[in-house]
Chain A
Amino acid sequence: MNLVRAEMRKLLGLPATWVASLLSLALAPAIALITTLQTRHTLAAGATIDVADLGFRDLAFGVIGPLVLGVVAVSSEYTSTGDEAPDARQLTVSLIAAPRRLRFLAAKTAALSVIVMALALSATVITITITRAAMGDYPLPRLEVTRMLAVALYWLLTALMADAITLITRNGVIPLTLLMVNTSVVSVSYLLSKVTRAAVFLPDIAGLHLFVRDIDTPIRLAPLAGGLVMASWVAVLLAIGAARFSRRDA
């Protein structure tokens, strides 16, 4: 418990965490607002539009905040202390304070999970509320609590995946580039799914099946199946990251 508290304090003490948190809370609602207003326009003009994913599709972009959090939680350990002590890194002190590496990692992952879950649940509630308020009497997706929890799970898994990849690369730039490019409106995974059916089982595409209903992929996964596929990826990546972290010289 001490270790988890220390890791929380560490994470919350970083300016990057606050920026990423703000992003988590503001991005999806902002996009959702623009989307709903557009949708209203279209509907008012008499066109038909599928509203099954209204609000939810916007939450898929909001994942950028948790992604940055996952990267920063690990990469901050490897950042140089400053110009005057370029070789010094926080990791040295972290391991002096908590030499059992797996325990240290478990505490870090727990702290990250708590923060991401809090942000994810808040962002989901805010986004869905805004969507419903802005749509007024127009048609809306049904209000399902499990679907909202599924969004939070997707955010959490994405943050953990970022955390695991950073643990493997020991550098924030690589996972950040990889994952941000793939959060794009047209992601690389989506492109791949147009060429090979196997791409549906990539973590992000599988994970989106958790809460997006209208996905244009060659195979459709049930929400539970999609979640399990993504969770397996995260588990494997975390295991590789943890194994490397505990074996390697710091």
Chain B
Amino acid sequence: MRAIRAELIKIGTLPAVRLTIMLTWTATVVLALVYSAAVRRGEPLAPDQVLAPIRFVQAGFVVLGVLVSTSEYQGGQIRTTLAALPRRLGLLAAKTLALAVTAVPVAAVAGIASAVVAREPWPESVEAVAASTGYLTLTTLLAAAVATAIRHPVPAVATLLGYYFIAGPLLRDRTGCDAYLPDTAALGPAPGLAATSAWALAALGATAIGFQRRDA
């Protein structure tokens, strides 16, 4: 518990994290406005108005995960961290939980904002908001796991966004491996979540092994 509290304080006191969250929310509202403007013109740009902005806004959650994990390596803070909490697996678990606790409300607010702007009827959009919250939280954890292995923010962001915005869409477009990609859930709720969860778990597992064995 103490470890989780410490990690929450670390996350909450990073100005870059606060900035990322604000920008992510702003982008969600702006994109939702764009999509609903297209609907009013009678040319909807996406089938699901609540989920549509999420495809772009997930970049903010990727950055959130990257910033939180690479901040440890930016000025040697990791040494202080490991001196305070030498059990690495426990530490990684605490970090992951703290990040999830942070990401859930941020994602929920983004989903609700998107639904409100889209003027979707309430009971129907609850499912979409819940699914996008789950998806975005898992994406944040996946990004954090990958960034922990890479350790530096710029290469981590380049790698992850390179997948989410270039390689992923192309793979989906040109090959038939939809159901197995980590970001398929961004397009429609339930079916993709299984793939996203599996990828996030795998990344966390691999990172845990690396974090345990590698020199800090």
> How many B residues touch the partner, as a band?
20 to 34
Of the residues B41, B56, B154, B170, contact of A172 by C-beta under 8 Å: B154
Whether B189 is near chain A, meaning CB under 8 Å from some CB there, is no
List chain B residues, Cβ under 8 A from A64: 162, 166
A180-B166 in contact (CB<8A) = yes
Given A35-B174, A72-B154, A185-B173, A173 and B67 touching (CB < 8 A)? yes
Shortest C-beta distance, A218 to chain B (Å), equals: 11
From B3-11, B68-76, B104-112, give the one contacting chain A. B68-76
State which of B41, B153, B166 has its C-beta within 8 Å of the C-beta of A195.
Answer: B41
**Known interface pairs A172-B153, A185-B169; A195-B66 also in contact (CB < 8 Å):** no
Please give the distance in Å from B43's CB to the nearest CB on chain A: 7
Complex formed: what's the CA distance from A183 to B173 in Å?
15
Q: How many residues of A contact B (CB 8 A)?
A: 34
Q: Which residue of B lies closest to A61 (CB)?
A: B166
User: Known: A180-B162, A185-B169, A195-B37. Contact between A173 and B56, CB under 8 A?
Assistant: no
The main secondary structure of chain B at its interface with chain A is helix
Counting chain B CB atoms within 10 Å of each CB, which of A19, A71, A195 scores highest? A195
Q: Is the interface of A mostly helix, strand, loop or mixed?
A: helix
The verdict on B84 contacting chain A, using a C-beta distance below 8 Å, is: no
Q: A16-B155, A176-B158, A180-B162 known; A188 and B75 CB under 8 Å? A: no
0/1 per residue, B154-181, Cβ < 8 Å to A? 1101100110011001100110000000
Q: Is there a chain A Cβ closer than 8 Å to B126's Cβ?
A: no
